[in-house]
């Protein structure tokens, strides 16, 4: 159960960091778009694209694990016990876990099996 809680804590930390990064990005650009709705729409779409890209690549920013995983001392392994250093596999893992219909149920899936859909498809384990 400790591993599952640490894993949920790691995704929560990552989400907060990425969310506030995009939020402050919008806050810096908002004075430029005060009079023009078109610029506000462009800046908002840019922030959404930034959010999606940061979230997909969160495991590659600091040594093949996210900031949340570093804080919670978690690492990503394949089923044979080797550390994952394949960037495509890391992106696919996050994509299948969070950008599918599984996302609203992600905490429950982790608490029940400790393996998300992305972990099953890419054959990875979090330890």
* Contact present, 14 and 20 (Cβ < 8 Å): no
Q: How confident is the model at residue 8 (pLDDT cuts 50, 70, 90)?
A: very high
Reported pTM:
0.86
Q: What's the confidence (pLDDT) of residue 70?
A: 93
pLDDT in tens, 22-50: 999 889 888 887 778 888 888 889 999 99
Q: Phi then psi for 125, rounded to 5 degrees?
A: -135, 140
Burial grade of 81 (CB within 10 A; 0-12, 13-18, 19 or more)? exposed
């Amino acid at each position: 159960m400790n591993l599952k809680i640490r894993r949920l804590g790691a995704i929560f930390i990552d989400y907060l960091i990425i969310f506030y990064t995009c939020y402050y990005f919008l806050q810096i650009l908002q004075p430029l778009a005060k009079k023009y709705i078109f610029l506000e729409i462009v800046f908002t779409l840019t922030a959404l694209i930034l959010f999606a890209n940061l979230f997909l690549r969160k495991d590659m920013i600091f040594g093949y694990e996210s900031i949340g995983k570093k804080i919670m001392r978690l690492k990503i392994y394949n089923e044979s016990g080797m550390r994952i250093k394949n960037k495509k596999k890391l992106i696919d893992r996050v994509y299948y876990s969070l950008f599918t219909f599984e996302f609203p149920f992600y905490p429950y899936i982790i608490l029940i099996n400790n393996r998300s859909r992305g972990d099953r498809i890419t054959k990875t384990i979090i330890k």
